[in-house]
Amino acid sequence: MNIELRHLRYFVAVAEELHFGRAAQRLNISQPPLSQQIIQLESETGARLFNRTNRSVQLTAAGHQLLNDARAILLQVEQAADRAARLHRGEEGELRIGFTSSAPFTAVVSDALFRFRQRWPQVHIQMQEINTRQQLAPLHDGRLDLGVMRNTPLPADLRHQLLLSEPLYAVVHKAHPLADADKISVTALAAEPFVFFDPQGGTALYSDILALLHRYHIKPYITQEVGEAMTILGLVATGLGVSILPASFRRARLADLVWVPLTEEDAISELWLVWSAGREMNAQMENMMALLRENRP
């Protein structure tokens, strides 16, 4: 059976007009080719679709059935084409983003996510909280589309763009002697019990902050090692020690914590947008990247 979509479109026009002349006008073709297409369709289906007289055109029972099915088929084709177009434009589909625990606390990320959701509500955003080092493999093999992570050495196939360079702060309990200082040097923390990341956790902040301390010849007195920054904040809030974290975590307001700026100009941490250079950039990725770039301070 060799039935084409044009056969169905022509048939629906005749079936709705019940007049070959009006149907030909509606289709913007001449009547003889239209009649020929209907004859071909009847030949392909092996069914008589119209009862024709000199005065009228009427659908047969087979014609009524085909009209219902033809309308459904044409609608399905139209919807499929529309879905493909919307997916191509980035109006539907899925976007998979890996992010470090600090990313949602930064305005550059949270505002971009909010604006993306407002503009493209039909795109499913799948957010995966993964530390920086754990994002690298999924970005490489395509399980993640974009990564928001701290600065770290990247494999050759991954590209990055700076989203935010933010200051590092000393975090102390409100009753700590340093809590009243306007600013302090990292050297003021040299002898303090330090709450820090587990070195096996894979977070880039571990290397970032440790490198800062080492540049000023400080070997931190680490008394607590944990996996997440929010746990660090919780332990500092109980008075178990001090720590250093990026400014973005200040949005997690804990009444017992005080954030003290550091005087060192290199006490900063960078937040990166990372993607694979070896994978095709789809519209969903491009739209999110554009919003993130717009939000950069």
Write the single-letter amino acid at 128.
Q
The CA R_g of the chain, rounded to the nearest whole Å, is: 32
Predicted confidence at residue 228, as pLDDT, reads: 86
Residues 44 and 156 in one domain: no
Tell me, letter by letter, the H, E, C secondary structure of 154-170.
Answer: CCCCEEEEEEEEEEEEE
**Residues with Cβ within 8 Å of residue 216, at least 6 apart in sequence:** 185, 186, 187, 264
pLDDT truncated to tens, each residue of the chain (297 aa)?
789 999 999 999 999 999 999 999 999 999 999 999 999 999 999 999 999 888 889 999 999 999 999 999 999 999 899 888 888 888 888 999 999 888 888 889 999 999 999 999 999 999 999 888 899 999 999 999 999 999 888 999 999 999 999 999 999 999 999 999 999 999 999 999 999 998 887 678 888 899 999 999 999 999 999 988 889 999 999 999 999 999 999 887 788 999 999 999 999 999 999 999 988 899 999 999 999 988 776
Based on the domain organization, do 116 and 57 belong to the same domain?
no
Domain ends where: 89, 107, 140?
89
Range of 62's domain?
Answer: 5-89
CATH code of the domain covering residue 22: 1.10.10.10
CB under 8 Å, gap of 24 or more: what pairs does 46-53 form?
A: 49/11, 49/15, 50/14, 50/15
Q: In whole angstroms, what is the distance from residue 57 CA to residue 30 CA?
A: 18
Q: Based on the structure, what is the number of domains in the chain?
A: 2
CATH classification of the domain holding 101:
3.40.190.290
Do residues 194 and 144 share a domain?
Answer: yes
Looking at the structure, do residues 12 and 38 belong to the same domain, yes or no?
yes
Same domain? 262 vs 248: yes
- 188 and 134 within one domain: yes
Q: What are phi and psi of 244, to 5 degrees?
A: -130, 130
Query: Same domain for 237 and 165?
Result: yes
Q: CA 161 to CA 225: how far, in whole Å? A: 30
pLDDT of residue 84: 85
One domain for residues 138 and 83: no
- Whether 35 and 105 share a structural domain: no
The CB-side HSE value for 11 (13 A sphere, CA atoms) comes to 31
E strand map for 36-157: 50-52, 57-59, 93-99, 123-129, 146-150
Which domain-ending residue is among 61, 89, 117? 89
| Other C-beta atoms lying within 10 Å of the C-beta of residue 113 | 20
pLDDT for residue 202: 66
Same domain, 30 and 175: no
The predicted pLDDT at position 82 comes to 87
Whether residue 66 sits in one domain with residue 156: no
DSSP string, 236-284: HHTTS-BEEEEGGGGGS--TTEEEEEBS-TT-EEEEEEEEETTS---HH
- Give dist(CA 243, CA 70) in Å, integer: 69
Indicate the residue among 69, 89, 109 that finishes a domain: 89
What b-and-e string marks burial along 122-148, b requiring 16 or more CB atoms within 10 Å of the CB?
ebeeeeeebbbbbbbebbbeeebbbbb
Tokens (6 digits) for 264: 């060192």
The rounded distance, in Å, linking the Cα atoms of 257 and 209 is 19
Same domain, yes or no: 160 and 145: yes
How far apart CA 48 and CA 63 sit, in angstroms, is 7
Can you tell me which residue has the tokens 């039935």? 3
Q: Give phi and psi for 227, each to the nearest 5.
A: -90, -25
Q: Distance between CA 46 and CA 40 in Å, rounded?
A: 10
Residue 115 tokens read as: 């604006």
